[in-house]
Amino acid sequence: MRNGSYFTWLLENTKTTWWHDSADPFELDRGLEIGASGVTSNPVLVNSTLNARKDYWLPKIERTMSEEKKSQSLAEIHIQTVLSEAAGKLKKVYDQTNTRQGYVCAQVDPSLCGDRESMLMMARRFASWAPNIAVKLPVTSAGLDVLEECTSEGITVTATVSFNVPQVISVAKRYRKGLFRAQQKNKKAGKCFAVIMIGRIDDYLREVAIDNQCDLEESDIIQAGLAITKRAYALYKKNHYEAVLIVAALRGTYHITELAGAELIMSVAPKYQKLFQSLQPPFSQNINKKINRNVLKKLSIMSEFVRSYEADGMPAEDFVKFGCNQRTLSQFSAAGWKFLEKPLKP
């Protein structure tokens, strides 16, 4: 029996699974003990564990550098070192679930969000590290093109920097095209996980509401990401999309409890894992619980919510310009990737 009453209930009574949201190996060990079946990461999280555990990582980085024959950036060496170890820890899950679970996400350079060729080359390198690497690509026009190509080549992808219904629907459609291309080549396609960064869209819309002096309460704002996710999930089920939704960037336990029962993956950081272990029954499946119409009406005052909620709310060429995308790409680059390009010193 796994520790943690809520996680035990979730895994035994619903189709909802969860992945560990951290690049730290010791935190991952604890996550695996309570049922995590995958790992999400980003450049900021990789940089965090490298600096927090320098004595642990420095000899491993030297080993990667000595074994690496191809020319790679220092950032890639750092990411490979950290996430290859995580991939090894998840290989058993990957094998036991017949490749359905057990993936470790490795994100490409966020500053390349519009550079198709560079992202594709990087994705191919990342995928060579281990069979259970899921290459993280941004949901931009360029990222969608690379996603389709990766799928056709058998590379598993996690579509990230994604916050709304138009983005995850675009991911599902492009993944389907990639599946068809793989089939035409008689090749095993890669899998696809489509992220909704549920807490980040709440954060963004909260700022929009404050700046525009919208008549909204905090209780309304924290339902925006839930409304978007429930809408996306319903469309995924209706259209039988093959991609699998991942809900990430949680801001509270409600981001899982209100979606419980959905056939999707939750990305849960260690601090929220502790909160979920403290929850007490009774528990319930709430994925079919609708968002109050009055709340949806109030949120619709903001055009940015409408664009995020409606399936045709924005075209793919607008994804990279969406405010939430820009701020997240900037953070992953400035607070993550740029630091990974520097040598780790004792």
Q: How far apart are CA 23 and CA 246, in angstroms?
A: 17
| pTM for this entry | 0.96
| Cα-only R_g, the chain | 19
CATH 3.20.20.70, applies to 10-338: yes
Tokens of 124: 């191919």
Encode pLDDT of 32-87 as tens digits: 999 999 999 999 999 999 999 999 999 999 999 987 666 689 999 999 999 999 99
The DSSP symbol for 135 reads: E
Encode pLDDT of 225-278 as tens digits: 999 999 999 999 999 999 999 999 999 999 999 999 999 999 999 999 999 888
How far apart are alpha carbons 222 and 285 in whole angstroms? Answer: 19
Please report the pLDDT score of residue 68 as a whole number.
Answer: 64
Q: Which token pair is 266?
A: 């939750």
For residue 3, pLDDT over 70 is answered with no
Cα–Cα distance measured from residue 48 to residue 44, given in angstroms and rounded to the nearest whole number: 6
